[in-house]
């Protein structure tokens, strides 16, 4: 008889969404509840597939969570698995180490939470002997690899290791129990159930090494449909991994070219067309879109001035498409290029290029803007700071876009004033 289990990690139940809530409270409520709905989907999958176990490779919680509502919800989901005699194997990740619920919630005997020392749970399933290895950390920081602390794989067993690790490092993720993938393949284990990095990866080799990613994204930097792994270990010890959808809402970036568009209604129609196409591609029930409007259009100023109205137009089109939300509008629109004939001087255009090519390019000016942004970031909650990038390279890219967009906004408003637009 095969041994089957679902492997997931990084649910981050009740992760705060302050920045999203400031823009759209209804959308924030949807996304905040989506992590719970994803856990329900995971439990549903376990029951439907009649698996033997659910493996949670860390960060079920999102830090210092004290909500009893979350505790009751989690207890109900665990009880559903317990009644079906589906075992749960869980390790604590760096966020779980901060959670009070993680320490206080009483679990049934079908749930095994691995402690701070390496442990092994042995299971017999038909002709298969399964050894599940796990180890948690009590503190949110783990600067050294956990692999040397695991017990040796048992001879004759199918050995499954559960580890929360940043591997060799990943942008936007803290270093946590770093580990070399090559060492995992040469460890003698058959399957490594990993967690911590939110992007799904499968590392082929001697062992089956899977980072399932998070089952539900929380912002635009965690875009795309999210999944878990349904794993089957056959009687001949071969391992099959299936990817199963769990995300209720998926974030995606959508670009709309407005080159040559001169009417506001045509711009709104172009947005709707792009949303219809993206909705058709999206696998999750809800689609949360960050719209990027680009190209050369005489609507440049009007859209920049009335971006709130264009946001409302986009949201209306999203409602029409169905279960499609607009998270934010980004503008990369430009004025149409001037015709080569009648090269009459345009002082606004000349000033625009001066700002972009001379003022913005000065290192001193850039340093001042960079310092202003850093001061702003220091004054807002850590979970709201990702808009300015998750590493130094993306931060510098954000500064670039800020400077260019600032010049574009000023030029658009000056051009309107020169025309006498109200």
Domains along the sequence of the chain with CATH: 3-245 (3.60.21.10), 250-419 (no CATH)
Provide the whole-model pTM.
0.80
Distance, CA of 376 to chain centre: 23
User: Cα–Cα distance between 119 and 321 in angstroms, integer?
Assistant: 51
> Which residue has tokens 């001193």?
364
Q: Three-state DSSP class for 88?
A: strand
Mean pLDDT check: name the lowest of 103-112, 159-168, 181-190.
103-112
Q: Where are the alpha helices (DSSP H) in 120-259?
A: 181-185
β-strand 128-134 against 119-125: which pairing, if any? antiparallel
Q: Are the C-beta atoms of residues 377 and 402 closer than 8 Å to each other?
A: no
Q: Over 50: is that where the pLDDT of 25 sits?
A: yes
- The residue-averaged pLDDT of 305-321 equals 95
Least confident of 2-6, 95-99, 278-282: 95-99
pLDDT in tens, 212-271: 999 999 999 899 999 999 999 999 999 999 999 999 999 999 999 999 999 999 999 999
pLDDT of 340 strictly over 50: no
Contact indicator for 229, 213 with CB cutoff of 8 Å = no
Q: Which of 70-74, 395-399, 404-408 has the highest mean pLDDT?
A: 70-74
Spatial CB neighbours of 207, under 8 Å, sequence gap ≥ 6: 184, 185, 187, 189, 190, 191, 192
**Mean pLDDT score across all residues of the chain:** 85
Q: List the one residue out of 374, 396, 393 whose CA is nearest residue 385.
A: 374
Count helices and strands (H / E) in the chain. Answer: 11, 15
Contact 348, 414 (CB under 8 A): yes
**Residue 354 phi/psi, 5° resolution?**
-65, -45
């Amino acid at each position: 008889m095969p041994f089957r289990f679902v492997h997931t990690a990084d649910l981050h139940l009740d992760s705060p969404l302050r920045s999203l809530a400031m823009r759209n409270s209804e959308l924030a409520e949807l996304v905040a509840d989506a992590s719970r709905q994803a856990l329900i989907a995971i439990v549903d999958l376990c029951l439907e597939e009649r698996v033997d176990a659910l493996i949670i490779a860390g960060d079920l919680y999102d830090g210092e969570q004290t909500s009893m509502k979350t505790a009751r919800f989690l207890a109900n989901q665990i009880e559903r698995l317990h009644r079906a005699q589906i075992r749960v194997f869980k390790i604590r990740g760096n966020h779980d180490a901060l959670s009070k619920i993680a320490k206080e919630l009483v679990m049934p005997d079908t749930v095994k939470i691995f402690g701070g020392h390496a442990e092994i749970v042995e299971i017999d399933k038909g002709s298969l002997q399964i050894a599940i290895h796990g180890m948690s950390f009590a503190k949110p920081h783990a600067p050294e690899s956990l692999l040397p602390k695991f017990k040796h794989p048992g001879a004759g067993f199918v050995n499954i290791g559960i580890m929360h690790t940043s591997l060799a490092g990943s942008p936007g993720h803290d270093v946590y129990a770093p580990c070399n993938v090559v060492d995992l393949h040469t460890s003698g284990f058959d399957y490594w159930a990993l967690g911590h990095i939110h992007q799904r990866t499968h590392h082929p080799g001697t062992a089956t090494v899977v980072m399932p990613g998070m089952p539900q994204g929380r912002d635009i930097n965690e875009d795309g449909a999210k999944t878990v792994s349904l794993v089957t270990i056959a009687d001949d010890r071969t391992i099959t991994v299936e990817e199963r959808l769990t995300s209720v809402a998926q974030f995606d970036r959508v670009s709309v070219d407005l080159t040559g568009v001169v009417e506001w209604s045509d711009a709104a129609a172009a947005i709707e067309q792009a949303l219809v196409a993206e909705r058709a591609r999206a696998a999750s029930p809800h689609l949360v879109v960050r719209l990027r409007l680009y190209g050369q259009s005489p609507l440049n100023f009007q859209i920049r001035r009335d971006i709130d109205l264009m946001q409302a137009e986009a949201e209306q089109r999203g409602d029409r498409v169905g279960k499609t939300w607009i998270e934010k509008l980004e503008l990369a629109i430009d004025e149409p290029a001037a015709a080569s004939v009648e090269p009459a001087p345009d002082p606004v255009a000349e000033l625009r290029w001066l700002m972009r090519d001379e003022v913005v390019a000065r290192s001193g000016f850039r340093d001042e803007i960079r310092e202003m942004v850093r001061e702003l970031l220091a004054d807002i909650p850590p979970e709201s700071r990702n808009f300015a990038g998750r590493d130094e390279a993306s931060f510098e890219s954000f500064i670039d876009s800020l400077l260019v967009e600032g010049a574009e906004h000023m030029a658009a408003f000056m051009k309107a004033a020169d025309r006498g637009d109200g």
